[in-house]
Structure formats: structure tokens, C-alpha cells
Amino acid sequence: MTIRHHVSDDLLLSYAAGSLAEGWSIAVATHLALCPACRRRLALAESIGGELLETETLADHGSVDDAWASVRRRLQQPMKPSAPARETPPARQPGGLPEPLRSYVGGDIETLAWRSLGRGAYHIPIRTADRETKVRLLRIPAGKPVPEHSHGGRELTLVLSGSFVDGDEIFARGDLEDADASLTHQPVATPETDCICLAVTDAPLRFRSWAVRAIQPFLGI
């Protein structure tokens, strides 16, 4: 598997800094699970954080002696039993959903409860605690287009299974498409199989077709 479309520096640095909202972070972390090259870039970005921590200015933040005495005492107490590790849904197949995505949707590809969007397309909304993004798994039928749309904001699309073509570029498993407000596009699933992807947006999509726009409120996209 060769990934051609990687996470941008901008997203990677925000993810490393911890300032990226949860929704975008799901797409970034799931891409990272599939892409060793981007994990090496993440290691660099996190080491910037470590280096900046070294240079953090030490204003008057109280005595380190007091803090040490207090922590030393806490270390001598028996450890609180840690919270039981969260149950991870089992992986069903090698080409299935990687973590952290699998836990977010609660199962692997063939166990999912898809909801119809009409025209053979399906989705599963994913809940997060952030108020900035909408996150969903999308299933586009083989050979069919996602209705042509532009964005009020940013849209990240991570392919998990199958592939789609957008303009003259192909996106397959692990590829991340990063579309901003200026792009009007019409991704089309390739003919062999349905295309399953994770889509994260920060504003409703704007569909060119009035017919799609008319039913949009009911689709929740």
C-alpha cells in the first residue's frame, strides 16, 4: 500500500501541539495509524514541543521544594487502581477500520449499522465532544459520485476502503484529501467496490444541485 496524499504540516503541527479539535484529530490519528512516513514527521513535531518545554520561562511559580515534598509523599501511598482499560472493539479484517476510528464507530467495517442517505449512499454520524466539527463515516456506491459540492469551510476525507477519483487524482486506503472553502469538487467512487471514507467538516457542505440542497436538512450533512 502506498499512500500518496498525506496530512499537511499545518494539521500535523496542530495535532502534535494538542490544539487540534477532536473531530479533525480522528482523521489525522487514523491516517497516522496507516502511514509510517507521517508518524516520523509527527515524532519531529512532538520533539519541537519537548524542546519548547525545555525553554519554558520559569516565572515565579512557587517553590519546587514544596512540590517535591508533596509528590514524594504521594508516591509513597499505594497507587490508586487505574481505571479499567477501555474495551477496544475487535478488528475483523486486515483492511478494516484502524484505531482510534474503530472505537469511535464501535465496530469494524462489516458490523456497522449504516443509515441511508438515498441514491445508494450511506452514512454513520460519529459523536465527539468538540463543537467545531461534524464527523461521519460515508459509504459511496461503486462507480457513483458524491453530489458535486463546495464547502463553507474545510473538509477532510480519509479513504478506508475502496477508492475515489477527484479531478485527475485517485484517493485509496490511507489517503487524506484536504479540501478548503475554495474547492468545488465531485469525488466519484471507482467502479470495483463501494468506497468507505471518514469525512470531517466544519461547516455544512454546499451542494450545487437544488434538489440535493432541498433534502440536506433531512440528511444531516
Scanning residues 165 to 184, which ones bind another protein (CB under 8 A)? Answer: 174
By C-beta, is 65 or 168 nearer to another protein? 65
Told to check if 102 binds another protein by CB under 8 A, we report yes
Told to check if 211 binds another protein by CB under 8 A, we report no
Which bin fits 194, alpha (ψ -120 to 50), beta or left (φ > 0)?
beta
- For the CA atoms of 144, 145, 147, 152, the dihedral, rounded to the nearest 10 degrees, stands at 140
> 15 Cβ partners below 8 Å, 6+ apart?
7, 24, 25, 28, 29, 42, 45
| Total residues binding another protein (CB under 8 A) | 69
Closest contact distance (angstroms) between CB of 200 and another protein is 11
Cell triple for 198: 471518514
By C-beta, is 2 or 211 nearer to another protein? 2
Contact window for another protein (CB under 8 A) among 92-100, 110-118, 189-197, 212-220: 92-100
Contact window for another protein (CB under 8 A) among 54-62, 117-125, 136-144, 209-217: 54-62
Which of 107, 112, 120, 128 binds another protein (CB under 8 A)? It is 128
Q: How many CB atoms lie within 10 A of CB 87?
A: 7
Contact window for another protein (CB under 8 A) among 25-33, 115-123, 138-146, 184-192: 25-33
Told to check if 106 binds another protein by CB under 8 A, we report no
Which of 7, 96, 159, 197 binds another protein (CB under 8 A)? It is 96
By C-beta, is 96 or 162 nearer to another protein? 96
Question: CA distances (Å), 76 to each of 68, 70, 80, 81, in order?
Answer: 12, 10, 12, 14
Please provide the DSSP assignment of 90-148 as one string: PP-STTSPPTTHHHHHTS-GGG---EEEETTEEEEEE--S-SS-EEEEEEEPTT-BPPP
Told to check if 107 binds another protein by CB under 8 A, we report no
Contact window for another protein (CB under 8 A) among 34-42, 110-118, 163-171, 182-190: 34-42
DSSP letter at 185 equals B
